[in-house]
Structure 1
Amino acid sequence: MTQVEALSMNKIWTRAIIPLIALILIVMMLIYPSASWEAGVRGLAIWWDVLFPSLFPFFVISELMLGFGIVHFIGKLLDPLMQPLFRIPGTGGFVAAMSFASGYPVSAKLTTKLRRQLLIGREEGERLVAFTTTSDPIFLIGAVSVGFFGNPKLAGALALVHYGSAIIVGLIMRFYGTKQSTDKSAGSTSKKPSEASFSIRLALRAMHEARLVDGRSLGELLRHAVTSSLQLMVVVGGLVVFFSVILEVLTAANVMSFFYSTVQGMLAILHLPPELAQAFVGGTFEVTLGAKASAAPADVPLMFKAAAAAFILSWGGLSVHAQVASILNDADLRYLPFFFARLIHAFLAAALMLLAWKPLMGASPSFKPLEQPEQLLQRWSEVPSLFIVFVKIVVILLILSLLARIIQQLLSSLPRQKGKPKK
């Protein structure tokens, strides 16, 4: 799609489709005023009772860490790992550190700035956004593990599978794009020897320079941290209330029943609890509502509820996707690689949570024990044969695509005959 076609599609969305959707939602809110009011109150209660006390103090602390240059210190330490592991210039280390510390959509904002300054290539930027768009530790630990699940022990398991699967996505995304485009777009960033070696001294210097550039006193830094954190909390609360009302109105109009029944059928095929369908559907739209719903079913084992929460946190919700897509639209970065990376991250995080539940959480009287391997194999053998065939086809296609990529890399590395004779 050319830039002109992309601009025309954006005009169609902003001038026709989005106003039409907004009009339909307003009419549905007028038809179901009681449902919309109750959903708004419920979303506001989630924000005030759980999100605000759990997130606001950590938002202030994270802002102080940025002001003191601690994140710059960590980013500089990560610089030597970016190119060999993820095929991204060393400047991506700072983006990775900032994104893992601050959460979505910080990665898209920082990557767009690097792309505008021509410090990173187009495909490099798309790879960087794909695996560094994650939940922040504050929301994962404070809101989800402690606030929604009431289980601080779950925080370590969720963090390990969420960020561990994000790194695996980065390793997978390194095969995205061609080597020639990476070499041409890296520019001068790949030639700096300081970014190719691990150095505590350079990391301390980066932290010191960041502190000098910031230049604010402790009082000014604290005041700005509180102000910006309050503004961010208002945005988070507004999104939670908005999507809570939208989902409740659509549910009252029986629009969401089709999605619930479809997801319940898919979960039944996979021998997973159908009670988690509401969590998956809600998490498709907004991550907070989905994470809250994943902790709600009382008769579902904690292992499956944690896997659903890991899936929802890694997917991010359409609200995050909309923010990232609008940010990427300011540069020439494409949204489609980000979308597929979110899908891979979500399924990978959920699978890792189920596989590593017993080593991570151990045996506890309050948790239902993990099934034995022979029981899991028996469950897998009960899956309909059509689904088995579908999985086999997907695996074969993935293997063929990987072989095609290897052959393409081998052919591109062969010497080509030049048209001009040597002088």
Structure 2
Amino acid sequence: MAQIIKTILFSVLTLCIAISLVKFPDQSLEASIRGLNIWWEVVFPSLLPFFITAELLISFGVVRFIGVLFEPIMRPLFNVPGVGSFGMFMGMASGYPTGAKIATRLREEKQLTRVEAERLVSFTNASSPLFIFAAISVGFFHDNKLGALLAVCHYVGNLFVGLCMRFYRRSEYEWKIEKKKKTPSKTSLRRAFYAMHRARISDERPLGEILGDAVIHSVKTLVMVGGFIVLFSVLTKLMFLIGFTSVIAELVEQLLLVFSISTEFGLPIISGLFEITIGVQSISGVNDTLLVQAILVSFILGFNGFSVQAQVASIISKTDIRFAPYFFARILHGFFASTLTIFLYKPLYLDRQAFDMYDVPVVHTTSENIWMDILTTIASIGPFITIICIITSFVLLYRRFIK
């Protein structure tokens, strides 16, 4: 019976989307083009180097090297092997969904158990510094100093999530197994090197095939990410046009009244829960105190938005990694980040603003615009990088097909 209800529900939802696309073709096309521009100008060229590098580092055994070195840190803190440090650092540097991509590869390589992979996915999908400092701080709020507050709250909150998720499915049986494991009390470069060497020689593919696989797998993943960005850009627009977003926003507004927050944030919050960029941009346009805006933005960044969550769900679906722990961690991250924003707003923003106003020269402000310069550069050359890489991947696939 449950399966029948699910079939009817999915069919009705898909039919409603199809009818909405027919009813609002112009608006749907506009939203689709907007999502496509974001993907091929910024997302693809900024994430592709990280994806390819991650594939190569795993293939050459460097991740095993890092894993041995960081095992004494990652196991006690987050209850994951040392290789999880690679996913954590890469996820923070490049943004979502890099953490899910790396966790999936490590699970496929049998370097993580199912539960360890679920723990790792829960705290390695963070927003990139480029998005926080350039797009949000400078682009939406026109305030360089806000980026430091949002970044600290976002990344520290993410680490808190990792500390909490270390207890996820920590059964008595698992505890006995882990007590038997001899986790090294100190790092060993020699042991790390031998682990890297064994991992490299175990991969019998020639160098050319390794490079080709890295490009193909990365491009495939990013094409899928682009599809989700376009899809949710259109869905968000359609829900607004048919009035569905407004109905949910009214319910959120009642909740905002309890916390004495302006009801004008209702619609932007709903938009942000589906798509981060639209939601944050809408929040920046509401005439209210910056503290309230920063708290809401921190929550949305931690929650990731359903668009990013769908990307993560699609990436981990190739393995036995479950989505539920990741979704729970996103709610946890949102609350941690927003709470930290309340406590750190004065020391990281107000006090710093007063200090810069009286003691720091104007050159300091200019140096912080480097993130905006990077974003502008990527957006200008991004389409060319995207086209060249997609053509390259097609050529590699064609050559393998004819062989």
Query: What TM-score do the two structures reach when normalised by structure 1?
Result: 0.67
Query: 1:347-390 deviations in whole A, cap 9, x for unaligned?
Result: 1111111221111112448xxxxxxxxxxxxxxxxxxxxxxxxx
User: In the alignment, is residue 265 of structure 1 matched against residue 254 of structure 2?
Assistant: yes
**CA separation of 1:121/1:38 partners in 2, compared to 1, >3 Å: closer, same or farther?**
closer
Q: Give the 3 Å change call, closer, same or farther, for CA 209–274 of structure 1 in structure 2.
A: farther
CA, structure 1 residues 336+181, in 2 after alignment: closer, same or farther (shift >3 Å)?
Answer: farther
Whole-angstrom distance in 2 between the partners of 1:85 and 1:97: 15
> What is the aligned counterpart of 2:103 among 111, 115, 134?
111
Q: Structure 1 CA distance, aligned partners of 2:319 and 2:302?
A: 24
Deviations, residues 282-321 of structure 1 (Å, cap 9, x unaligned): 1211223223323232x12222222222111111111222
8 Å CA contact 2:70–2:83 kept in 1: the answer is no
Counterpart of 1:346 in structure 2 is: 334
Shift of the 282–163 alpha-carbon distance from structure 1 to 2, 3 Å rule, reads same
Count of equivalent residues? 347
Q: Secondary structure at the match of 2:127?
A: coil
d(CA) in 1 for partners of 2:309 and 2:322?
Answer: 12
The one of 325, 329, 333 equivalent to 1:337 is 325
Q: Classify the secondary structure of the residue corresponding to 1:175.
A: coil
C-alpha contact 1:146 1:152 (8 A) present in aligned 2: yes
Q: Is the 8 A contact 1:74 1:203 kept in 2?
A: yes
Pair 1:286 & 2:275 matched: yes
Cα distance in 2 for partners of 1:123, 1:306 equals 33
| Mapped contact 1:119–1:186 kept (Cα < 8 A) | no
* Distance in 2 between residues matched to 1:292 and 1:74, nearest whole Å: 38
Q: Is residue 76–residue 93 contact of structure 1 (8 Å, CA) maintained in 2?
A: no
Contact 2:225 2:311 in 1 (8 A): no
- 1:308 alignment partner in structure 2: 296
TM-score by length of 2: 0.70
Alpha-carbon distance, 1:137 to partner: 2.9
Corresponding letter in the other structure for 1:84: P
CA contact (8 A) 1:79 1:94 kept: no
Change (3 A) 1:294 1:200: farther
Which of 340, 346, 371 is the aligned partner of 1:358?
346
Q: Are 1:83 and 2:75 an aligned pair?
A: yes
Q: Which runs of 5+ in 1 are unaligned?
A: 366-423
Cα distance in 2, alignment partners of residues 131 and 109 from structure 1? 13
**Which residue matches 2:87?**
95
| 1:321-332 equivalent positions in 2, closer than 5 A | 321-332=309-320
Structure-2 change in CA distance of 1:12 and 1:101 (3 Å): farther
> 2:369 matched to which residue of 1?
none
Q: 1:332 to 1:204 in 2, by over 3 A?
A: closer
Secondary structure at the counterpart of residue 291 of structure 2: helix
> What is the distance in 2 between the residues matched to 1:91 and 1:144?
31
Q: Is 1:172 the counterpart of 2:164 in the alignment?
A: yes
Task: Specify the alignment match of 2:265 in structure 1.
Answer: 276
SS of residue in 2 equivalent to 1:354: helix
Partner of 2:370: none
Offset of 1:235 from its aligned partner? 5.4
- Map of 1:229-248 to 2, 5 A cutoff? 238-248=227-237
**SS at 2:260 equivalent:** coil
Unaligned runs of 5+ in 2: 355-403
Letter in 1 for 2:243: N
Q: CA 1:253/1:110 → structure 2, altered by over 3 Å: closer, same or farther?
A: same
Alignment partner, residue 15 of structure 2: 23
Q: Is the CA contact 1:116–1:331 (under 8 Å) kept in the aligned structure 2?
A: yes
